[in-house]
Amino acid sequence: MAGMRTARRILAGGAVLAAAGWALRDLPAELGVRPLASGPERATRMRHSPQFRDGTFVNSMPEGAALMTAPPVGLLGELAKDRSQRHPAGPVPLRIPPADPPPADGVRAVWYGHASTLVEIEGRRVLFDPVWSRRPSPSQFVGPKRHHPVPVELQELPEVDAIAISHDHYDHLDRTTVLRLTRTQKAPFLVPLGIGAHLERWGVPAFRIIELDWNEETEVAGLRFVATAARHFSGRSFTRNDTLWGSWVVIGAARRVFYAGDSGYFEGYRGIGSAHGPFDLTLMPIGAYSPSWPDIHMDPEQAVQAHLDLGGGVLLPVHWATFTLALHPWGEPVDRLWREAKARDVRIAVPRPGEAVDVSAVPAVEGWWEMLS
């Protein structure tokens, strides 16, 4: 009997070790690579970038307390309190995205959750920061879990013309999603300078990678893409800022869209608006803000101000609802956004995940999240 118990313990221990080994097998690849060591051409471009200084990329605006190098004192204790408020109180309602062709001369957007959004502009499709994994983490055994499923599986996505990435944090650049999109789509990946090294490490063909510094641009499928500034940071391990972060301007014949990525508020939005706006649609992050990191994630009121600086028409909030990445209550970001938008006469759309928003016919805000807050 004792021998059987010992055997079971040994088998159980072996199973745990095997599971741990299986979970960690992809960790080196998830962490990416050091771009400066990935090839002389990329290293030269990085060293010549106005954003690169003393071996890392830097924000061009004053940073203050921008880059949090260690968790604030008491953060773990705060995380343990009021945990239920940081989750929806019930299932998040989903919608099935439309299957019809994109409007030939308009702008339509489908928000899948967090920052992942498909924007259809003048008949072309651009997929921003796609993350389909259950956790935004180097391991699917740790990290915040999704609060809702993705409304559509990756293989069910329509054919896209471009995949644009804002920076290399796990909640915006997901290796598993990139691998699957490399197999199921033909579109190029547009990325800030240095991120191409990660993609190459993951098997994305070089001809499908377009790396840009701030204020550089390229044309894809008849759309003009401009890499623009953001106030943030980068890194997939303990090494910080060895790849660039940014935002994206997408310009068609008559329509324009701006995607902010992750950013704190900064005066540069006025310059982006003057140079490339006004915009029919802005995708603005409104969640995961905190007084502990005020310069790297804007709050909802700042998102409205940035939208106005940019000359935005309709504001679609992203970077909320899907993952708990800060201490504020789950529904607080969109509550604050709605109040500020009404006070400043800003048009906003707050779709359910999977719900399409046509910029020419934006529905009234329904407050669907309020019963879940």
Q: What is the pLDDT of residue 250?
A: 99
CB under 8 Å to 335, separation ≥6 — which residues?
Answer: 370, 373
C-alpha angle with apex 150: 149 to 152, nearest 5 degrees?
130
Q: Rounded to whole angstroms, how far apart are CA atoms 267 and 24?
A: 42
Give the global pTM: 0.91
- Both tokens of residue 3? 């021998």
State how far the Cα of 110 lies from the Cα of 113, in Å rounded to an integer: 9
Q: Which pLDDT score, from 0 to 100, does residue 322 have?
A: 98
Residues 6+ apart with CB under 8 A from 189: 163, 164, 165, 178, 196, 199, 204, 208, 209, 210
Share of the chain above pLDDT 70, in %: 88
SS (H, E, C) the chain: CHHHHHHHHHHHHHHHHHHHHHHHCCHHHHCCCCHHHCCHHHHHHHHCCCCEECCEECCCCCCCCCCCCCCCCCHHHHHHCCHHHHCCCCCCCCCCCCCCCCCCCCEEEEEEECCEEEEEECCEEEEECCCCCCCCCCCCCCCCCCCCCCCCCHHHCCCCCEEECCCCCCCCCCHHHHHHHHHHCCCCEEEECCCHHHHHHCCCCHHHEEEECCCCEEEECCEEEEEECCCCCCCCCCCCCCCCCCEEEEECCCCEEEECCCCCCCCHHHHHHHHHCCEEEEEEECCCCCCCCCCCCCCHHHHHHHHHHHCEEEEEEECCCCCCCCCCCCCHHHHHHHHHHHHCCCEECCCCCCCEEEHHHCCCCCCCCHHHC
pLDDT given at position 195? 98
Q: pLDDT tens digits for 50-87?
A: 999 999 999 988 655 444 444 455 554 555 566 778 89
Residue at token pair 């691998």? 179
Cα separation, 218 vs 209, whole angstroms: 12
Report whether 98 contacts 120 (CB < 8 A): no
Strand partners of residue 250: 225, 257
- Cα 232 from Cα 167, distance rounded (Å): 9
User: Could you say which residues of the chain have pLDDT below 50?
Assistant: 7, 10-23, 65-71, 76
Q: What is the pLDDT of residue 254?
A: 98
User: Tokens representing 263?
Assistant: 């950013």
Q: CB count, 10 Å around CB of 5?
A: 9
| CA 222 to the chain's CA centroid | 24
State which amino acid sits at residue 44: T
Tokens 């109180």 found at: 89
Distance (Å, whole) CA 72 – CA 65: 12
Sign of the Cα torsion 83, 89, 91, 93 reads: negative
